[in-house]
Structure 1
Amino acid sequence: MDVLEAIHTRRSVRQFTAEPVSREEVKEILRAGASAPSGLNNQPWRFAVVRGDEVRRALAGLTKYRHIVEGAPVCIAVFCDRDVMYNDTKDHQAIGACLQNMLLAAHGLGLGAVWLGEILKSADAVRELLGVPVALELMAVVAVGRPAGRAGRTDRKGLADLVVKEL
């Protein structure tokens, strides 16, 4: 799939089939995330891959989007490692690039994915559940699976509404 086509056709997928996502597909998504740019090449992202039903159910209980987490064969918690950060803004921007790469990789593999941010209200509980160090700050959980149906089309603002100045 062409990069621009992937960018323009990717949609958030919130319903998945029960078909599993292979370890190789997950690795490819993680590799794409890890290929994102970061200031000073500090690569602040860290990942926790959640496949097990019991842990996924517990994770689902930490968000109002429980049904999405329970329905996804795989969830990937994405953290920012505060021990390697040098600038909050730049490092958080790098995590955003990482997440977008992951979403595009899933789309390119024929999978569906959605970036869940609401779960940040339970960041400490997520970190404890997954047994990761306190230095890791939860940035999002990405739910991944095979799409159950077609993702809807979303309206986008035109460039005339977005470009505030052209000099």
Structure 2
Amino acid sequence: MSAEAILAAIQERRSIRKYTDEPVADEAVRAILEAGRWAPSGMNNQPFRFLVLRREDPRFETLSGLTKYTHIVKSCPVMIALFLDKKATYHEHKDHQSAGACIQNMMLAAHAQGLGTVWLGQMMNNAPQVLEALQLSPDEYEFITVITVGHPAEPGKANRHPLDHYMLEKF
């Protein structure tokens, strides 16, 4: 893949909040998960753990009630929940940075396959309830987020300030 293609994917990827009813193939989900597992992690500890839920899973409905973005969850055919395995973590800040890289990898992998995603970080506000709904121990796992996945029903929108806005000094 060319540098131009990678940079274009980064700039073209958008958060998608409405999906079609078209199912997402298992192969596409596997490719998304593979991209996530290749994210960098401190000391290569690879603390990521994934749980894939499809709309027909009864836990799907429960999770849709644990976010103010219920309408997004109910629209998507697949959710990928991301956790940190507490036995594999070694530094809270670095492990959370790694989780962010994992999420970005997965979202770019979905985009490369023509799929849309959105990162439901707000669901983290209900982390204890999410772990309970999924019957996962808070002593073993830290809930990070849910990524919704599906075929976009509408284009995403985004804008960015010019690069100079972000610079602390001119380069």
**TM range, normalised to the smaller chain?**
over 0.9
Secondary structure, aligned partner of 1:141? strand
Are 1:6 and 2:23 counterparts?
no
Structure 1 residue identity aligned to 2:13: R
- 1:149-164 to 2 correspondences below 5 Å: 149-152=154-157, 154-164=158-168
Are 1:139 and 2:147 counterparts?
no
**Contact 1:75-1:143 within 8 A present in 2 as well:** yes
Distance in 1, matches of 2:145 and 2:114, equals 21
Match of 2:110 in 1: 106
Secondary structure, aligned partner of 2:125? helix
1:50 to 49, 53, 56: 53
Match of 1:128 in 2: 132
Are 1:80 and 2:84 counterparts?
yes
Structure 2 residue identity aligned to 1:22: A
Gaps of 5+ in 2: none
| More off after superposition, 76-85 vs 138-147 | 76-85
The offset of 1:166, in angstroms, is 4.6
Match of 1:15 in 2: 18
**Contact 2:164-2:170 within 8 A present in 1 as well:** no
Q: Percent identity?
A: 48
RMSD between aligned residues: 1.3
The offset of 1:110, in angstroms, is 0.2
**Contact 1:48-1:130 within 8 A present in 2 as well:** no
Structure 1 residue identity aligned to 2:9: A
1:61 to 36, 60, 65: 65
Distance in 2, matches of 1:132 and 1:4, equals 37
The offset of 1:122, in angstroms, is 1.1
Match of 1:34 in 2: 37
Distance in 2, matches of 1:91 and 1:27, equals 23
From the superposition, tell whether residues 63 and 164 of structure 1 become closer, same or farther in structure 2 (CA, over 3 Å). same
TM-score, scaled to structure 1: 0.95
Structure 1 ranges of 4+ moved more than 4 A = none
Gaps of 5+ in 1: none
TM-score, scaled to structure 2: 0.93
The offset of 1:131, in angstroms, is 2.0
Q: How many residues align?
A: 166
